[in-house]
Amino acid sequence: MNRKFNLNNLLLSLLILLALILRVCVALRFPNIFWADEIFQTLEPAHRLAFGNGIVTWEFRDGIRSWVLPAILAGIMRLTAWLGEGSTGYLIGSNIFLSLLSLSNVLVAYLWGKKLGGTITALICAGISTIWFELIYFSPKAFTEVVATHFLLPGIYLGLNKNSFSQRNRLFLSGCLLGISLALRIHFLPCIAFILIYICRKDWQQKWLPMLGGIFAPVLIFGTVDAFTWAYPFQSFWLNIWVNLVEGKSKLYGVSPWYEYLIFLLKSWSWLFVPIMILVLIGSRRLPILAWSALIIILSHSLLAHKEYRFIYPALSMLMILAGLGTAELVLNLSRKWKSHQKIVIATLICLSLWTSTSIALMSRFNIYNDLTFSTFGTDLRNTHLYATANNLLALQSLSKKNTVCGLGLWGVHWALSGGYTYFHHNVPIFPVEKIADFAALKAGFNYVVGDMSIPSEYKNYTLQECWQGTCVYKRPGSCSQIIDRDINSVLKKSGN
């Protein structure tokens, strides 16, 4: 018994360690932006709290975002800034923190697999959650839906499975986790409502009351923070719904047909969508609550006009656990013919190797903004999300280590794809320079330029410093002069962005 317990702990520890290494290393080796919100809705306001400067977007001028997650990230930034020079230290710290949160997915996958099928099932479920490329890619990103998922899954698990806690305490804790998830991402309401009904059924006193109490506790905390940071309690909840759903402001960022998430999945998984979904269907018989929850996440987001692949991240996490259950069921059915434990272990390792190979192959072509194709491998890694805007981020991160910067001009680089002060760090103005006329009017305000095109020929005092795949840093001698109402925050405020 002791030996088996130690083996389970060892396997789980190794998987969690591997998951952490993969997530942190990929995030640091391949800095990128999937969507600007990962910077400007979380990390950038966190930088403003921690260090006093940051780009302010309309969401934080109008008060439709909560300060809770940015405040937590601000604390992480302050605590980890010593890890590196300029912005490097706190970027490492933020990636580690967000990656640590994501390990709840691996833990839940292991525990569910162990409960439903034993050690082999646990190893396969957690192994797939550890190595799957989309989970590795999104886990260290500061999207609210990603962070919310890492509370949602353990909340579902605790609500369904007995442990050393009393039922009321367990359900209260489950409710707290679901409440945190809901407070971070109000769009999860249909899914969480279904989870409550599925777990509690008609047992109002023993189940509904502790779970609702648990949910309301973090939601009330978020609402109270709104009262102190905005005009009234729960402002970021109601105003977000009003501005995006009623006024339709989210449509300005793109409108997609109802079936877009299916297209996204096909673009991401290619022809392997079919065998993966077959495994998901097999696993759904063992854990229907995850299958229904994933479906509700996808369908409820399909009703919204503006669609982004990251919005269904919780469904991706659930589908991988279900695919793991389906895979394990096939392995265990085949292994009944084998009396040798060695053969079963070999079959499990082969299975995980196939999943790892699949993950690597699909990562090599991972770009949902490309046309739909059914290839297995990519031919150009730089055309994947791993390298999206990496050149801009590396340029600004390099400048964060220089102590001679008194102003920065963005020449041909859109501010939303720049990384903002999160990467730049210096408490000096950033100027968007879109035309040659802007260059002439603003040149006195900055001594460094980050551009994706050559400096106009008439400004020969700028010298090329370094380039990253077409994005270059230029420097001129001398100091900077103050220029009123032309810095990035003034421009965004005037334009309403």
pLDDT at 472: 96
| Cβ-contact 267, 370 below 8 angstroms | yes
Q: How is 185-246 classified by DSSP, letter by letter?
A: -GGGHHHHHHHHHHHHTT-IIIIIHHHHHHHHHHHHHHHHHHHHHSSSTTHHHHHHHIIIII
- Give the tens place of pLDDT for each residue, 426-465: 999 999 999 999 999 999 999 999 998 888 888 889 999 9
Residue among 28, 25, 7 nearest 17 (CA)? 25
Element (H, E) at 268: helix 260-269
Give the tens place of pLDDT for each residue, 246-300: 888 888 888 999 999 999 999 999 999 999 999 999 999 999 999 999 999 999 9
Write the DSSP string, 89-146: HHHHHHHHHHHHHHHHHHHHHHHHHHHHH-HHHHHHHHHHHHH-HHHHHHTTS--HHH
Residue 3 has pLDDT above 70, yes or no: no
Sorting pLDDT into bands at 50, 70 and 90, what band is 339? low
What average pLDDT does range 202-209 have in this prediction? 85
pLDDT digits (tens, 9 = 90+) for 164-179: 678 899 999 999 999 9
The residue type found at 10 is L
- Longest CA span, the chain: 80
Which band of pLDDT confidence, cut at 50, 70 and 90, is reported for residue 372?
Answer: very high
Find how far residue 353's CA is from the centre of its chain: 26
pLDDT value, residue 337: 74
How confident is the model at residue 5, as a pLDDT?
A: 61
Tell me which of 343 and 53 has the higher pLDDT.
53
Token pair of 5, please? Answer: 């317990």
pLDDT band at residue 2, thresholds of 50, 70 and 90? Answer: low
Q: Which residues contact 435 (CB under 8 A, 6 or more apart)?
A: none
Task: Tell me the mean pLDDT in the region 136-157.
Answer: 98
pLDDT of 164 reads: 66
For residue 70, the surrounding DSSP H or E stretch is: helix 68-80
Roughly what angle, to the nearest 10 degrees, separates helices 88-117 and 2-29? 140
Give 65-117 pLDDT, tens digit per residue: 999 999 999 999 999 999 999 999 999 999 999 999 999 999 999 999 999 99
The mean pLDDT of the chain is 94
The 10s digit of each residue's pLDDT in 110-133 is 999 999 999 999 999 999 999 999
Q: What is the pLDDT of residue 160?
A: 92
Per-residue DSSP letter, 43: I
CA distance 328 to 214: 34
Give the three-class secondary structure for 430.
strand
Confidence (pLDDT) at 4 = 56
- In the chain, what percentage of residues exceed pLDDT 70? 98
Work out the average pLDDT over 328-346: 81
Place of tokens 């994706």: 452
Whether the predicted pLDDT of 396 surpasses 90: yes
Residue 360 has pLDDT above 50, yes or no: yes
Q: pTM for this structure?
A: 0.95
**What per-residue confidence (pLDDT) applies to 1?**
47
Nearest to 324 by CA among 293, 295, 287: 287
Distance, CA of 164 to CA of 159 (rounded, Å): 13
Mean pLDDT is lowest, of 182-186, 214-218, 273-277, 467-471, for 467-471
Distance between CA atoms of residues 17 and 19, nearest Å: 5
Beta-bridge partner residues of 464: 474
β-bridge pairing 463-468 and 471-475: antiparallel
Distance CA 72, CA 92 (A): 15
